[in-house]
Amino acid sequence: MKNNLVTDIKTAVNLFRDMRKERKNGCNIEVKKVVDVPIINCGPTFLNTVEGCRLINGEYQIFESAKQAYDKLSQDEKYKLAHAPKDGEFIARARFWKSVLKPVMDSKQYRTSMYLILSWYIHIKQMSVKGGAVA
């Protein structure tokens, strides 16, 4: 306790001395209380993608395999996948997921996951044609 008190007093004296020195040099000194606020940046997750939201409603093992494959992607790829595909992006996005999912799933899981993803792409496309909101 005494060591902390002495250290705090030394710090205050040094700060006061530095402030007076700078004020004499013509600087405008303003003292403000600053509070550290912790910031957590999680970045995008698999559930930030339309594919993740679609696959979570299916078989647990399919979702887990797809999530593990997603977790291995770079941050740039994850950010690109965080938005629903727009016109002209559906085929490239389906091919991307094909290349990501095929190595980590057996053939039945792969077919099921691609069916779910493609059916959701069709839904997105139909909603955009009808002028509805895209999920």
CA distance 125 to 87: 8
61 and 117 assigned to the same domain = yes
- Exposure string over 98-126, b if 16+ CB within 10 A, otherwise e: eebbeebbeeebbebbbebbeebbeebee
Give the mean pLDDT of 57-79. Answer: 93
Range of the domain at 14: 1-34
Which helix (H) or strand (E) covers residue 54, if one does? Answer: helix 50-55
Within this chain, do residues 22 and 78 fall inside the same structural domain, yes or no? no
CA 43 to chain centre: 2
Quick: pLDDT tens for 3-34.
Answer: 788 888 888 888 889 888 888 888 888 878 88
- What local confidence, expressed as pLDDT, does residue 3 receive? 75
Residues 85 and 107 in one domain: yes
pLDDT at 2 (0 to 100): 67
For residue 135, pLDDT beyond 60 = no
Mean pLDDT of the chain: 89
Residues 21 and 79 in one domain: no
**What is residue 34's predicted lDDT score, i.e. its pLDDT?**
86
Residue 40 located in a structural domain? no
Residue 78 reports pLDDT greater than 70: yes
Mark whether 55 and 90 lie in a shared domain. yes
Task: For residues 45-65, give the mean pLDDT.
Answer: 93
Higher pLDDT, 30 or 79: 79
| Domain co-membership, 13 together with 57 | no
118 and 68 in one domain?
yes
Q: Do residue 11 and residue 50 come from a single domain?
A: no
Output the pTM of the full model: 0.65
66 is written with which tokens? 């797809």
Domain shared by 80 and 116, yes or no: yes
113 in a domain, yes or no? yes
